[in-house]
A and B are shown apart, each in its own frame.
Chain A
Amino acid sequence: MRRLHLTRRHALAAGLSLAAALALGSPAHADGFPDRQITMVVPFAAGGSTDVVARIVAQKMSDDLGQQVIVQNVAGAGGNLGADNVARAEPDGYTILMGTVATHALNPLILKSTPYDAEKDFAPISLLVVVPNVLIVNPELPVKTVAELVALLKAEPGKYSYASSGNGTPLHLSGELFKSMAGVEMEHIPYKGSGPALNDVIGNQVPIMFDNLPSSSGHIKTGTLRGLAVTTKERAPSFPEMPTVGESVPGYETYTWNALFAPAGTPPEVVARLNVAAGKALADPAVAERMTEFSATVVGSTPEELAAHVKAEIAKWTPVVRDAKIQLD
């Protein structure tokens, strides 16, 4: 199989000229897959963390598959539009989805009706990365630990608010789970995405926030925000000093994950081929390095492991969503 070795000049040419299309047709595989470009649907806007993961992985998968894997952003309805598009696409492996905890665990629980079934309508390909969330506060808030925050919130119930990237997002649910497990009261202030929310926390308009670790790690390092704890079970490798929320609120664990899915009914050999390509992309040292800088942990999995993971995630979030009484139309 011929590989696409991109030099800087070639890479540029690929975008600006015909090179991308003329690049390569790989005849190497027995079943002939893939013989044309593959579309990876990202169900969120370009530039977000899911999009970045998708573009890094898609680039490397193209190298292995010998066909371009192009990223298409189909944003809308908290990821449901893009996920639904893929669920209804031809099950031939040429349309795949960059799924997340939102599209495959939370949305089906939160929404009164989801147009697809997270388990039955998809053929899992591979889990890719796990991204920790982080509990951050404005440095002017007089708390340095999760325990102090809990004490402050208990002393003045209802006085403080917390920001999130939107209603029903994994970060909102991280906050709601924290409220119910720690037994505290905070007012939820939703924003349109993480950026504006972060802005208001830095400006101390809202003192507390749950965020993805990648988007606020720069602020934690420079001290414009105080990171109290990460939400994963283990401490984050990029912040070994920072405790986990679970160390103060036993049993607390949330995180965001990204995984590839094909439409249900995709031939197993095609799924297997895509799984291999995804695995090779994740094993690439450059990718691993980027992901680590980005505070994401490369995981990878077999299709079966991903199916089990989705089932486990749904089981985990069902009681949380029910207890927090989050129900959207």
Chain B
Amino acid sequence: MELFSNLALGFATAASPENLLFCLIGVLLGTLIGVLPGIGATATIAMLLPITFQLEPVSSLIMLAGIYYGAQYGGSTTAILINMPGESSSAVTAIDGYQMARKGRAGAALSIAALGSFFAGTVSTFLVALFAIPLTAIALKFGAAEYFSLMIVGLVSSVALAHGSVVKALAMVALGLLLGLVGTDIYTGTPRFTLGIREYADGLNFVAVAVGVFGIAEILRNLEGEKTRSVLVHKVSGLWPTREDFRRMAAPVLRGTAIGSALGILPGGGAILAAFASYTVEKRVSDKPEEFGHGAIAGVAGPESANNAGAQTSFIPLLTLGIPANPVMALMVGAMIIQGIVPGPNVASEQPALFWGIIASMWIGNLMLVVLNLPLIGLWVKLLTIPYYVLFPIIMAFCSIGVYSVNSNVYDLYAVAFFGFAGYLLVKLRCEPAPLLLGFVLGPLLEENLRRAMILSRGDPTTFITRPISATLLLIALAVLVVVFLPSVRAKREEVFQEED
């Protein structure tokens, strides 16, 4: 069978001592930069690009891919330990993961994240191997109308992210969408909401906003009651998940893997939605939805698996079409070009060792990550017992470096301070940052695709319901809306009836 010979070629390529070494270097470096708050894979890969000039093409791409998923992995660690997500996907992990850490269960949260990611990585690697080409054909059917409808599904789902007031969650989504629109309008070139600051012409930096509203707000919150406490967590119970934990993570991991694999294929926003979508699904199917937001295991296991599966399958458009789904993938394209490989549909047929070698290395890299990280969990958890007056200056220093390293834009640092303040204000007002961040990520995509769809249909709004995929997605959004609102309506009515009694 062709698949097996291809995979055999891939593993033979990826398992050469040299390539194993570069894979290891990649995942190590990725984990390191992922764990340091603020600094991301984009900056690191950019720095390493010229070095890859000297390497074999396969080795360099294996190393860069390793940095990418290693960073995703390390990013979850920071999200769980100090509520500091470095990527949009780990923002979801922070919601329940950080709560678990506060309850002394950081070790369990980290191992669940690691094991869930590994499982998802394994499955989605094989999906990439099996279906890369047919899946690409499906992804190409997504035009502006379909993306718009997909974003609507994402936004509707985001309401489920909130565990407080639905109205406030909606307001946070709206605010996030507006913040996402800051910058130059791509259709007319008009700057919007930039207050005349040219440095914001390309919009607010995601890392700056995320670090501000999640991380810095949390630091400030911890400084409130410092008369009584000096460390984040006093008691750290059991480093490893219990048998009960394993039982409760199995189904969420499976569902998260499926969601992540499916959405990861869509370039431009698919992988971002995966973690959010998984969280929503878990909260819906859970028999204890009230646990979400207070350290639910499913709220870590599902999104983490989805996030990792999405990270793997987002290589599909890159490998089959040469089209980057995100900035990191754009750098991989750059790396290929430096190596004299012109990315495009011919890579699989002209460079089979490269194509299948990268796919095989993803699985090997994931295995390395689990083996490396499980023993490290004890060390990470120890971090929580560092007095926070020592921890916070360290975090602030790394955040400053990390945010500045993204674009060398000092205004991004001012944005960190501003969103730190705003995030703290929102915490004090009992608003949750996760819907805001989702809105922030989706805002520009939503508007861009809405307007593009309208121009392409020459102003005919029925384009959203006459295109079958778009119509299906809108129906799903409607269904989610009904499912989300029904229980709260029912609860309200019960409340009313009780009051009448």
A52 located at the interface, meaning its Cβ lies under 8 Å from any Cβ of chain B in the complex? yes
Point out the residues of chain B lying under 8 angstroms from A56, CB to CB.
Answer: 50, 53, 338
Q: When chains A and B are docked, how far (Å) is the Cα of A14 from the Cα of B55? A: 13
Q: When chains A and B are docked, how far (Å) is the Cα of A293 from the Cα of B341? A: 8
State whether B317 touches A199 (Cβ < 8 A): yes
State whether B189 touches A47 (Cβ < 8 A): no
Listed A/B pairs (7) with beta-carbon separation below 8 Å: A8-B54, A15-B48, A59-B53, A75-B407, A76-B407, A77-B202, A200-B144
State whether B455 touches A187 (Cβ < 8 A): yes
Point out the residues of chain A lying under 8 angstroms from B46, CB to CB.
Answer: 46-47, 51, 71, 73
- Taking a contact as CB atoms closer than 8 A, the residue among A59, A199, A203, A218 that contacts B343 in the complex is A218
Q: Which residues of B contact A (CB under 8 A)?
A: 25, 29, 42, 45-51, 53-55, 139-144, 184, 186-191, 198-199, 201-202, 267-268, 317, 321-324, 327, 330-334, 337-338, 340, 342-347, 407-409, 448, 452, 455-456
Q: Which residues of A contact B (CB under 8 A)?
A: 6-8, 11-12, 14-16, 45-49, 51-52, 55-56, 58-59, 71-77, 80-81, 84, 110, 115, 161, 166-168, 187, 189-193, 195-196, 198-200, 202-206, 214, 217-219, 221-222, 224, 289-290, 293-294, 328-329
Q: When chains A and B are docked, how far (Å) is the Cα of A196 from the Cα of B143? A: 11
State whether A198 touches B323 (Cβ < 8 A): yes
State whether A199 touches B338 (Cβ < 8 A): no
Q: When chains A and B are docked, how far (Å) is the Cα of A56 from the Cα of B334? A: 11
State whether A47 touches B333 (Cβ < 8 A): yes
Q: Shortest beta-carbon distance, A62 to chain B, in Å? A: 9
Q: Given contacts A45-B327, A56-B53, are A205 and B455 in contact (CB under 8 A)?
A: no
Point out the residues of chain A lying under 8 angstroms from B338, CB to CB.
Answer: 52, 55-56, 290
Point out the residues of chain A lying under 8 angstroms from B409, CB to CB.
Answer: 74, 76, 81
State whether B456 touches A206 (Cβ < 8 A): yes
Q: Shortest beta-carbon distance, B260 to chain A, in Å? A: 20
State whether A15 touches B51 (Cβ < 8 A): yes
State whether A224 touches B408 (Cβ < 8 A): no
Q: When chains A and B are docked, how far (Å) is the Cα of A219 from the Cα of B345? A: 7
- Taking a contact as CB atoms closer than 8 A, the residue among A14, A74, A167, A202 that contacts B51 in the complex is A14
Q: Given contacts A58-B50, A195-B323, are A328 and B407 in contact (CB under 8 A)?
A: no
State whether A81 touches B201 (Cβ < 8 A): yes
Residue of A nearest to B407 (CB): A75
Point out the residues of chain A lying under 8 angstroms from B143, CB to CB.
Answer: 200, 203, 205
Q: Given contacts A47-B324, A77-B202, A81-B201, are A218 and B346 in contact (CB under 8 A)?
A: yes
Point out the residues of chain B lying under 8 angstroms from A59, CB to CB.
Answer: 50, 53
Q: Given contacts A74-B409, A189-B456, are A195 and B337 in contact (CB under 8 A)?
A: no
Point out the residues of chain B lying under 8 angstroms from A202, CB to CB.
Answer: 140, 321, 323
State whether A199 touches B140 (Cβ < 8 A): yes
State whether A46 touches B189 (Cβ < 8 A): no
State whether A11 touches B55 (Cβ < 8 A): yes
State whether A12 touches B51 (Cβ < 8 A): yes
Residue of A nearest to B343 (CB): A218
State whether A221 touches B334 (Cβ < 8 A): no
Q: Given contacts A55-B338, A71-B50, are A199 and B323 in contact (CB under 8 A)?
A: yes
Residue of B nearest to A167 (CB): B189
Top 3 A-B pairs, shortest CB-CB distance: A218-B344, A328-B189, A47-B330
> Which residue of A46, A75, A221 has the most chain B CB atoms within 10 A of its CB atom?
A46
Point out the residues of chain A lying under 8 angstroms from B456, CB to CB.
Answer: 161, 189, 205-206
Point out the residues of chain B lying under 8 angstroms from A195, CB to CB.
Answer: 267, 323-324, 330, 333
